[in-house]
Amino acid sequence: MSAQSTVVTEQHFAYLAERTRGDDEFLKQLKQAAEKAEIPAIWVSPEQASVMQILLKLNRAREVIEVGTLAGYSAIVMARALPKDGRVRTVELEGRHADFAEEWIAKSDVAGRIDVHRGSGREVLKTFPDQSADACFLDADKSGYPLYLKECLRIVRPGGLFLVDNAFAFGQLFDADPTDSEVPAIRAFNDLMAATPEVHSVILPIGDGCWVGVRQ
Ligand SMILES: C[S@@+](CC[C@H](N)C(=O)[O-])C[C@H]1O[C@@H](n2cnc3c(N)ncnc32)[C@H](O)[C@@H]1O
């Protein structure tokens, strides 16, 4: 068997997206309303959302932590993968984003399963008890990722799931002169994640690259 990997191109992404469950009418409306409200369209792709849902289901996750709510898209998607008594605790720094997300979460089919925590992940995560979550999803300020990883090692139970977005640094991972100021932080975090023995992890080439790991 060959150890060679296939280089995943735009064409492959389009191909797999066409074969993945897309957004339902509610999520399409949420995105339209968010764009109207001038909230940036930087939510995860529907394909990545499906991967995250499948992993949460396989992990039988009930309690999920998210840093970076934005419009509530990924929180709603993740909550839908949980049992009825499941819960997503999602943390958002920007009041405008938190307001929008709360409004749309309240209208969603998983209204009772999501709590929006206002503030920075840097402070809010510290308030979550040890081993109180089955999974975490980090999708906020990249310079905060090392601290969020440290906190999530405390909060997520052994066997729990780690998901961290943007391992490919907005497509600029290998750029000699990246335009996005967060690229160096992502590169440093990728090295940190790879050197963290408490999480058995790998970067999935989906979306902008998503770390997937299991807490040892
Ligand atoms: C990429 S978006 C999140 C997208 C969302 N997870 C989704 O896929 O639907 C990043 C969000 O993180 C928020 N954010 C930035 N710094 C933060 C911090 N220190 N703590 C919590 N949220 C933060 C931003 O305001 C923004 O709403």
Residue 177 C-alpha to ligand 1 middle, in angstroms? 25
* Greatest Cα-to-Cα distance within the chain, rounded to the nearest angstrom: 52
Residue 11 burial (CB count, 10 A): 8
| 74 Cβ below 6 A of ligand 1 | yes
Q: Is residue 48 scored above 90 in pLDDT?
A: yes
Tokens linked to 51: 């991967």
* Residue 4: inside a domain: no
* Residue 30: inside a domain: yes
* Residue 1: inside a domain: no
On the 0-12 / 13-18 / 19+ scale of CB atoms within 10 A, 196 is: middle
Q: What is the pLDDT of residue 2?
A: 58
Report the atom number in ligand 1 closest to the C-alpha of 39. 27
Residue 117's domain spans which residues? Answer: 10-215
Nearest-angstrom CA–CA distance, 114 and 116: 7
Nearest-angstrom CA–CA distance, 122 and 91: 10
Report the atom number in ligand 1 closest to the C-alpha of 144. 19
* Residue 56: inside a domain: yes
Query: How high does pLDDT run on average in the chain?
Result: 97
Residue 40 burial (CB count, 10 A): 10
Q: What is the pLDDT of residue 26?
A: 98
Q: Is residue 24 scored above 50 in pLDDT?
A: yes
* Residue 180: inside a domain: yes
| 45 Cβ below 6 A of ligand 1 | no
Q: Is residue 9 scored above 70 in pLDDT?
A: yes
Residue 152 C-alpha to ligand 1 middle, in angstroms? 16
* Residue 89: inside a domain: yes
| 30 Cβ below 6 A of ligand 1 | no
Q: Is residue 3 scored above 90 in pLDDT?
A: no
Residue 140 C-alpha to ligand 1 middle, in angstroms? 4
* Residue 5: inside a domain: no
Residue 60 C-alpha to ligand 1 middle, in angstroms? 25
| 139 Cβ below 6 A of ligand 1 | yes
Q: What's the domain count of the chain?
A: 1
What average pLDDT score do residues 125-153 get?
Answer: 98
| 121 Cβ below 6 A of ligand 1 | yes
pLDDT, tens only, 51-84: 999 999 999 999 999 999 999 999 999 999 999 9
Residue 121 C-alpha to ligand 1 middle, in angstroms? 9
* Residue 26: inside a domain: yes
For position 164, which CATH number holds? 3.40.50.150
For the whole prediction, is pTM greater than 0.85?
yes
Residue 98 C-alpha to ligand 1 middle, in angstroms? 10
| 70 Cβ below 6 A of ligand 1 | yes
Q: What is the pLDDT of residue 1?
A: 43
